[in-house]
Amino acid sequence: MIVDEDRVSYRWALEALRNGVPNRDAVRLLGCNQHEVERQFSDRLDALSDPSRKDTPVPGILVQGDFGTGKSHLLEYCEHLALINNFVCSRIAIGKETPLYNPEQVFRAAIENGIVPDLMGQMVDEIALKLRPDSPDYVQLFHWSNQPECGVSPLFPATLLLHERLNNDPELVQDIVRFWSGDKISMARVRQGLQLIGQASAYSLRAVPAKELATQRFAFALQLIRGAGYRGWVILIDELEVISAYSIMQRGRAYAELARWMGLAAGAEYPGLVVVGTIATDFAEAVLNGRHDRDYVVPRLQARGTDEFNLLAARAESGMRLIERERVLLAEPTDATLDNTYSKLKEIHGKVYNWSPPDLQSADPRDPSALRRMRTRIRRWINEWDLKRLYPDADIHIEEQRIQQTYSQDKDLEENSATESI
């Protein structure tokens, strides 16, 4: 007999699958059938778990698949693997509030959606509580942050030192944690804190330019994660096809940012980071070729004639090449995969509602009408069982409508970026 705890877990899994948004329980019960992506992802986690390789950057993984083919399920599975292997994990969906071309907003989304293994609180708050100044990991963090070549402002090691030593000013300590999370901090307050611990002359503090701050915050946060004893940071970026809704210059910045996140930007590699991104299969044909981004984006960036935009152009080229040539396609489900998934779903539905679900004709992969995407199959099976349980004598007919991906420009996404410099 199924116990109450298991019944709750089964119900959560079923509700998530019914809504087309798989959760941890669904992934745990159904597993993942994308073996090539799983192998590549596991290899990267293993590399960063090896002390002799943990400081070697690893490239990201870009996964291509159509709507409803299992991209979200795959990312949920990657999150599960990351957490059980002692990696902090953040899952981001690119959209209006999180435009890929804006590093600050993407960083904030990564922090807000971050999960620390076995802990439930806000990501940076939990990590800050795990810092142990006498641990080898913390010593490495402190040493790294105080090296000029680390690439972050002296403000970061200064706040780290204050967080360690300033026990009599909890308000400033909390301000520091918020600063690490993406908020502003008063430079005067930091200087006052340094005076209190006798370190006023240890750091030359100046305001950090806004366009540099986001990438410095990210580099520091990654090292902070490792300084707290975790193996690294896994960032899962969903719905990269939203890039198509930006203006051409914003798309150029987005391609450049994609290259940076994926470890393809020379001079901006991040040891300890693993990124997996998902994008629609036809994006390259529809946008890079159909809207001529392959021809126009790089020249438009280079036309600005500055070193900054020439660097963006080179990175944008790498980002577009990644989408065209270096992606991993989601594997199509085999008959064995479909049969296995169907059997597990039938078992889950039966246990949740304490009944024996009948077999469904729509589950037969040889049925021509069953040639549909994985998400559609799963939702159809669940809906049919729901109806058959409630109306056992009814003649059930379910209609389906295919959602077509569009790649038109969206003015709302442009207007959302008040700070965009282009």
Joined together, the tokens standing for residue 142 give 């402190």
Q: Does 253 map to a domain?
A: yes
- Encode pLDDT of 250-309 as tens digits: 999 999 999 999 999 988 889 999 999 999 999 999 999 999 999 999 999 999 999 999
Q: What is the pLDDT of residue 373?
A: 77
- CB atoms closer than 10 angstroms to residue 320: 23
Q: What is the pLDDT of residue 413?
A: 63
- Encode pLDDT of 110-159 as tens digits: 999 999 999 999 999 999 999 999 999 999 999 999 998 999 999 999 99
Q: Does 351 map to a domain?
A: no
- Do 84 and 147 share a structural domain? no
Percent of the chain with pLDDT over 70: 92
Structural domain of residue 73, as residue ranges? 34-117+230-330
Q: Does 164 map to a domain?
A: yes
- Do 46 and 90 share a structural domain? yes
Number of helical H runs and strand E runs in the chain: 18, 6
CA atoms of 34 and 13, how far apart (whole Å): 19
DSSP H helical segments within 286-408, as ranges?
293-302, 307-325, 335-353, 374-390
- Encode pLDDT of 254-269 as tens digits: 999 999 999 999 888 8
Q: Does 264 map to a domain?
A: yes
Q: Report which of residues 349 and 370 the model is more confident about.
A: 349
DSSP H helical segments within 119-237, as ranges?
123-130, 136-145, 155-165, 170-181, 187-196, 210-227
DSSP element (H, E) containing 200: none
- Encode pLDDT of 113-127 as tens digits: 999 999 999 999 999
- Has residue 207 got a pLDDT over 70? yes
- Do 297 and 257 share a structural domain? yes
- Has residue 364 got a pLDDT over 70? no
- Do 278 and 154 share a structural domain? no
- Do 238 and 281 share a structural domain? yes
Q: Does 386 map to a domain?
A: no
Q: Where residue 250 sits, what CATH number does that domain have?
A: 3.40.50
In the chain the first and final C-alpha atoms are separated, in Å, by: 62
- Do 323 and 237 share a structural domain? yes
- Encode pLDDT of 367-398 as tens digits: 545 446 788 888 889 999 999 999 988 888 77
Per the structure, the count of domains in the chain is: 2
- Do 316 and 280 share a structural domain? yes
- Has residue 422 got a pLDDT over 70? no
- What's the half-sphere exposure (Cβ side, CA atoms, 13 Å) at 83? 19
Of the residues 173, 193, 220, the one at which a domain ends: 220
- Has residue 210 got a pLDDT over 90? no
Q: Does 237 map to a domain?
A: yes
Of the residues 220, 244, 279, the one at which a domain ends: 220
